[in-house]
Amino acid sequence: MARIGVINISDGRDHVHTRNASFIQSKQDALVRSLSAAGHEVVAGADLVATNALATSVARGVAAAGVDVTIFCYAVWAFPHFTMLAADATRTPLILLASTDPTEPGLVGMLAAGGALDQIGRAHTRLWGAPDDAGLVAAVGAEARAAAAVASLRGSTFGRFGGRPMGMNTAVANTDQWMRQFGVDVEEIDQYELVLRAEKADAAEAAKAREWIEAHAAGVHYDGKKLTPELLERQLRSYLAIRDIIAERNLDFSGIKGQPELTEHFATMDVTEAFLNDPYDWNGPKEVHVTATEADMDGALTMQLFHQISGDPVLFADVRHYHADRDIWDLCNSGQHATWYAARSDDPAENLARVNFYPEVFFFPAGGASVQHIAAPGRMTLGRLTREAGRYRLQLMLGEFESYDDETNDELVRQSTPEWPHAFARLDVDGPAFLSKFGANHIHAVPGDRRPELRAVAKLLGVRLDEWTRG
């Protein structure tokens, strides 16, 4: 969860502040309790702000605690210039929060402060309500998680293994723009480094991993050609190799080109990418390392934001097919889906019991295993950062993953590539509208309705929000 600063702004007249101080403090205490109960870490200001000196010192103290977002609270009428001074002393996103207790003019204080910030162009979000109101706490949480996700990008490093895949322009972003707009550096790593490291990786550890997969997966379908135990272990050694490179180079998220060099001459990266995106491997729980196939930079950036907001693995898929008769999209990609999506369980065995490892198809002569399953049903937030004339936009929608009886699932899967993973999605957008406007061939998803956080992300990043609904 987020780290939230809370500062209460008061009236600058001594006799008025003295009268109101206990009332203001009671509102602050109630808000801190509510936010703490929701799982956030709260840093309250050292004092109520009733002088210009306190406006600066209290805000600096909260800022020094490294908060993700700062709330200025208005339980009473508050001198607006205190807000201006406090805002100047912090660089975090700001929330102006007004108490709606009618016994005091908190709304008046917030509106006066907000207007003053508007005049100097300082962006902020305005919220209002009782400090124990669940809706208000949820709204604050969404803003705070968005602020934390955006802040996490700054100073991070993206590991780009290989270059542009198969002429895919949407997979390549401007590194200068990334640093300027998002604070993200790009570390370029040749895929040959991965090959060399994989060849030297721990063979015993790879064999252990293979045996774990064989013991828990729905099936490992060796064919003696495209998929053998040796090829599966090569993919697992690639996973071990890239884990070492991530640690050595302090990479925060990554992308692997794969095609055509690795898929033609070494092995596919499906198993490697799936387990990097999973919250576990054969040695138990681990951190998710967001990894995009085809070194898709904007895809990886989207996934990193989705992951930072939700804490969950993030789906990466091609927009493969629209079943117009069912109003269902087949979101399918060569093995990129994390195995977690098979059942979305904390127990790896429960997920893997629904995952098959099939020999790769004709696209990939080098062979290896594809990671096949049908994503578990449930509500999803889907979208992607795309660019139009060089400017970023966040294309966002809600949807549902669906699953059917075995006969229907088999029929739908066999209409595309049955060896690959599939998510059957009913999107909250008309099919023709989506196909006419969506700015990439890759789309990303995370469980639940995360639109409130992502709306705030778009605002904080200064990108256009294209939120789609039906009608």
CA atoms within 13 A of residue 349's CA, in its CB half-sphere:
3
| Residues sharing a CB contact under 8 Å with residue 247, sequence separation 6 or more, in sequence order | none
Q: What is the pLDDT of residues 352-369, one digit of tens each?
A: 999 999 999 989 999 999
- Contact residues for 230 (Cβ-Cβ < 8 A; gap 6+): none
What is the rounded CA–CA span in Å between residue 334 and residue 395? 23
Quick check: 234 pLDDT over 90? yes
The answer to whether 386 and 439 have CB atoms below 8 angstroms apart is yes
Could you tell me the pTM of the whole model?
Answer: 0.95
CA angle 271, 172, 146 (to 5 degrees): 80
**Cross-strand bridge partners of residue 364:** none
162-209 residue pLDDT tens: 999 999 999 999 999 999 999 999 999 999 999 999 999 999 999 999
Pairwise CA distance, residues 468 & 402, whole Å = 20
Q: What is the pLDDT of residues 297-320, one digit of tens each?
A: 999 999 999 999 999 999 999 999
Confidence of residue 143 (pLDDT cuts 50, 70, 90): very high
Residue 342: partners with Cβ closer than 8 Å, 6 or more residues away: 351, 352, 353, 354, 355, 373, 374, 375, 376
What is the model's pLDDT at position 139? 97
Assign 102 to helix, strand or coil.
coil
Q: pLDDT at position 470, please?
A: 85
Query: Per DSSP, what are the bridge partners of residue 322?
Result: 329
Residue 395 Cα distances to 16, 319, 383, angstroms: 49, 14, 5
Mean pLDDT for all residues in the chain: 96
- Please say if the pLDDT value at position 1 is more than 90: no
Pair 203, 175: CB distance under 8 Å: no
Residue for token digits 């020999």? 359
Find out whether 464 and 322 touch, Cβ atoms under 8 Å. Answer: no
Asked which of 215-219, 332-336, 403-407, 461-465 is least confident by mean pLDDT, the reply is 332-336
pLDDT for the residue 235: 97
Q: HSE of 80 in the Cβ direction (CA atoms, 13 Å)?
A: 14
Q: In whole angstroms, how far apart are CA 56 and each of 60, 81, 95?
A: 6, 11, 17
Residues 317, 282: contact at Cβ < 8 Å?
no
Q: What is the pLDDT confidence band of residue 335, given thresholds at 50, 70 and 90?
A: low
Which two tokens mark 72?
A: 């200025």
> What would the pLDDT profile of 31-68 be if each residue is shown by its tens digit?
999 999 999 999 999 999 999 999 999 999 999 999 99
* pLDDT average, residue stretch 82-104: 97
What was the pLDDT predicted at 334?
Answer: 82
Q: What is the pLDDT of residue 471?
A: 66
Identify the band that residue 389 occupies on the pLDDT scale cut at 50, 70 and 90: very high
